[in-house]
Amino acid sequence: MDAMASSAPTAPNPYLAPRSPDADPDADTDTLNDAGVAEVGRRWNALYVFDSDLTVDLMDVVDKLGSEFWGVSDEAIEDALIKAGAKVSPKWKWSYRARLRDALGVTFGKPFAQPVRWLVDGIVPSASVTMFVGPAYSLKTWAELALLKAVAFKEPWLGRAFFGGWPKGPPPGIPDEPARSIAVDFEGGMSELERRLAFLGDDGRVGRASMPKYDLTNERFWTELEKLLPLSLVAIDSLSRGAPNIDEKDSRFAEPLARAARFANEHDTTFVFLHHSPKDAGKGLTDVIRGTSALPAALDACFYFEAATNFESTDPTERRATVRCLKMRRGGVEPAPFRVRLTDAHGFELAASSPIRKAPTDEETVLATVTAHPGIGGRRPISEACGVGFERVGKALDALLAAGRIENVGTEARPRHQVIAEVLNPSVAGGGPIT
């Protein structure tokens, strides 16, 4: 009976393509069928997590994939790994930027001070969660779609080079990794999305999904997104429409951003979320982001779009917006403000204009008013002279008095304010550009 069992035919490997009759039976020349490619990808993502600082060798990977793949050629395994989202290491052939998963993702050893990696040089960090926020008609959707197109085509975006996740661009000799980008639209519908992409010159390389079956709060959305890996950029319009069942003031409204951050870390994917700012928003980060205070903390970068009206143009179709970076967690350097424009003739592009001037704070405006009108009275006269609201003038006056920058030479009932010393910000007095 044992002899009969030992002579029983071996079950065929379900992951291998049929071997050529001329192939060497002792050589690792097997190739994978479609099921094999899918299974390699599934096991890779179950075993490994992306880590730009560490590498794993192909032989170790094959050993952990299982005995079903031990006879497969290196080329076939690598093709399957790259389809699964594995990033080839620049250090040597047949190695990948990854580490084994563990329960908590704990890493010991000397930390590596890695330079900041950029998707677009100096402006969009790689594997980050970024937000474009602003009121309606501020060109933030056009900026998002133009960014998607630039990444898919590996082209500059608003004058900044495509780096594709490398600190200074891909080093020479590195395999050309795909740069796939996807627009996920919860707002305007597929026809409007495709009209805008066609206007920007996309030839089909930008993936698109409109009104997807699962929203951002459903884990199925993220598992379906994993099936599309590798992904360089996913842009979502908008956060509010993508999480319709959560009140914006509820802290849970920030959960899609946290889930995107985990996805970004595991798969080296950058996310850009569009969000609307409240009416009469201030200028600070927490002022312009509508909803829970947990949103700003969950972002790696945030850009505020504000429609520009103070410009001259001979093109009646031209629209402009001022873009300011309000947060840049990576690298610690916020890019200078810039202006963008949209025209029928030239599409979406960086606007060639005079340098953007920084809007003065209330304290700077009140200080300039007191300087121009020595001995001016209290809140109401200053408010009428500078155009700042009565209550805001009061807060600015209190702060300036407490800081010793102005003084009241009159009485409490009949105040007369004057500047103690020349403390005007040069950018207010001279209109200097932001640097």
Domain ranges of the chain: 2-100, 118-350, 362-429
What phi and psi, each to the nearest 5 degrees, are found at residue 79? -55, -45
Q: How confident is the prediction along the chain (435 residues), in pLDDT tens digits per residue?
A: 444 444 445 567 888 888 766 656 655 577 898 888 888 888 888 888 887 778 888 888 888 888 888 888 888 898 888 888 888 876 566 788 888 877 666 666 666 566 788 899 889 999 999 999 999 999 999 999 999 999 999 999 988 888 887 767 666 655 566 689 999 999 988 999 999 999 999 999 999 999 999 999 999 999 999 999 889 999 999 999 999 999 999 999 999 999 999 999 888 899 999 999 987 777 788 889 999 999 999 999 999 999 987 777 778 889 999 999 999 987 667 888 899 999 998 899 988 654 444 557 788 888 888 888 888 888 888 888 887 777 888 888 888 888 888 888 888 888 888 887 544 433 333 333 333
Largest CA distance in the chain: 114
Q: d(Cα 59, Cα 316) in Å, to the nearest integer?
A: 62
- Cα–Cα distances (Å) from 418 to 48, 219, 384, 414, in that order, read 66, 61, 17, 13
Six token digits for residue 123: 């402006």
3-state secondary structure of 275: strand
Give me the residue label for tokens 């197109």.
149
Alpha carbon separation from 184 to 204, 226, 233, 251, 271 (Å, rounded): 15, 14, 11, 23, 11
pTM, rounded to two decimals? 0.63
Please give the angle made by the CA atoms of 322, 328 and 332, to the nearest 5 degrees. 125
Distances (CA, A) of 167 to 77, 260, 267, 288, 403: 28, 22, 17, 30, 43
Per-residue confidence (pLDDT) for residue 413, from 0 to 100: 80
Tell me the C-alpha distance between 428 and 417, whole Å.
Answer: 19
Q: What separation in angstroms does the CA of 31 have from each of 35, 50, 88?
A: 11, 25, 20
Neighbour tally for 254: CB within 10 Å: 22
118-350 carries CATH number 3.40.50.300: yes
CA dihedral 229→260→142→434, nearest 10 degrees, is: -120
Do 112 and 54 meet the contact criterion of CB atoms below 8 Å apart?
no
Only one residue has tokens 């007369």, namely 416
Residues 129 and 103: their CA atoms lie apart, in Å, by: 24
Fold match flag (118-350 vs 362-429): no
Give the pLDDT of residue 50. Answer: 83
Contact 167, 117 (CB under 8 A): yes
Domain 362-429, architecture per CATH = Orthogonal Bundle (1.10)
Say if residue 237 is exposed, middle or buried (CB neighbours under 10 Å; 0-12, 13-18, 19+): buried
Per-residue pLDDT at 92: 64
Sign of CA dihedral 274, 277, 282, 285: negative
Predicted local confidence at residue 416, as pLDDT: 83
Amino acid identity at 136: A
Q: What was the pLDDT predicted at 359?
A: 57
Cα 8 to the center of its chain, rounded Å: 57
